[in-house]
């Protein structure tokens, strides 16, 4: 069941997402060779506490950290550790906040120092696929319009979209209906309505879309070892079109 939000509820979700955006913008400055992913996790948690909010992922199904930090062939749900980032890595940072009854959720993938042209292109296309999808988040469109926009952008560039993990509705729960696959057909699926909040999150592999979960029970990696990138925004559908709640401004 898809839960529609009133304008005052969308404002609360915006406040949560604003904290997420602030954290990601701070982390953007901190990501460089020599930093550990655990240091990034601690920075994120400190900011959220200062804002009187709660990191949404910590404790979720037993997940032990505030941040998901996924390096290179890690797709999503990488666990912060003493791993030191090195020049040429790419790192996906996924962060969520719970505040005043509403969840916010957003992710970015960043270069560590100078990266290869192919790593840079993968990140650029993945972010572009998210932007293309967001343009379809309007009342009267179909969920499949969003999915198809991601898939077309990604596959036209020669990459693949991960099948095993999907975007989601978000609000008073972190994961609400509908599920939002990053592949699908235009014109199919439920009708989009004003008041929906969607966490749209393309996960894009350089090679095949097949993934494995490591023995830590969390870290998702590409099966072929190729690079992967992930971007996510929480987007409210309004009569005036998409409203990106997890944008900094």
Residues 192-221 that bind Co ion (CB under 5 A): 199
User: Which residue is listed with tokens 């870290």?
Assistant: 219
| Closest approach of Co ion to the CB of residue 84, in Å | 27
- Return the number of the residue (96 or 178) whose C-beta is nearest ligand MF3: 96
CB distance 201 to 181 below 8 Å: no
Choose among ligand MF3, Co ion, none what residue 80 binds, the Cβ cut-off being 5 to 8 Å by kind.
none
Q: How many Å apart are CA 77 and CA 237, to the nearest integer?
A: 27
E strands in 183-226: 197-200, 203-205, 211-213, 220-222
| Under rule CB under 5 A, residue 45 binds Co ion | no
A 10 A CB-CB count for 62 gives 8
CB 77 within 8 A of CB 68: yes
- Interacting residues with Co ion between 87 and 116 (CB under 5 A): 105
To the nearest 5 percent, what fractions of the chain are helix, strand and coil?
30, 30, 40
Q: Under a CB-based contact definition with an 8 Å cutoff, are residues 198 and 171 in contact? A: no
Please report how close the Cβ of residue 64 comes to ligand MF3 at its closest, in angstroms.
9
176: contact with Co ion by CB under 5 A: no
Closer of 68 and 75 to ligand MF3 (Cβ): 68
Interacting residue ranges for ligand MF3, rule: CB under 6 A: 57, 60-61, 63, 68, 77, 94, 96, 105, 199, 201
82 touches, from ligand MF3, Co ion, none (C-beta below 5 to 8 Å by class): none
CB of 62 to ligand MF3, least distance (A): 8
Min. distance of Cβ 65 from ligand MF3 in angstroms?
7
Q: What's phi and psi for 231, nearest 5 deg?
A: -130, 145
For residues 20 and 192, which CB has a smaller minimum distance to Co ion in the complex? 20
Where along the sequence are the contacts to Co ion (CB under 5 A)? 105, 199
């Amino acid at each position: 069941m898809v839960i529609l939000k009133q304008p005052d509820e969308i404002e609360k979700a915006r406040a949560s997402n604003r904290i997420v955006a602030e954290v990601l913008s701070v982390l953007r400055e901190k990501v460089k060779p020599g930093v550990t992913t655990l240091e990034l996790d601690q920075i994120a948690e400190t900011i959220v506490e200062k804002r009187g909010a709660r990191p949404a992922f910590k404790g979720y199904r037993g997940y032990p950290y505030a941040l998901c930090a996924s390096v290179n062939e890690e797709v999503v749900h990488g666990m912060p550790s003493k791993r030191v980032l090195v020049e040429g890595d790419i790192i996906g940072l996924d962060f969520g906040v719970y505040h005043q009854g509403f969840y916010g959720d957003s992710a970015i993938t960043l270069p560590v120092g100078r990266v290869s042209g192919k790593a840079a292109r993968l990140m650029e296309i993945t972010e572009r696929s998210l932007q293309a999808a967001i343009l379809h988040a309007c009342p009267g469109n179909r969920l499949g319009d969003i999915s198809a926009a991601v898939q077309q952008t990604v596959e036209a560039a020669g990459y693949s979209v991960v099948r095993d993990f999907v975007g989601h509705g978000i609000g008073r729960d972190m994961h609400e209906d509908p599920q939002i696959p990053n592949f699908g057909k235009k014109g199919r699926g439920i009708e989009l309505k004003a008041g929906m909040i969607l966490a749209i999150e393309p996960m894009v592999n350089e090679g095949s879309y097949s993934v494995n979960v490591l023995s830590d029970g969390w870290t998702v990696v590409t099966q072929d070892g190729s690079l992967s990138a992930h971007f996510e925004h929480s987007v409210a559908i309004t009569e005036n079109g998409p409203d990106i709640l997890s944008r900094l401004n």
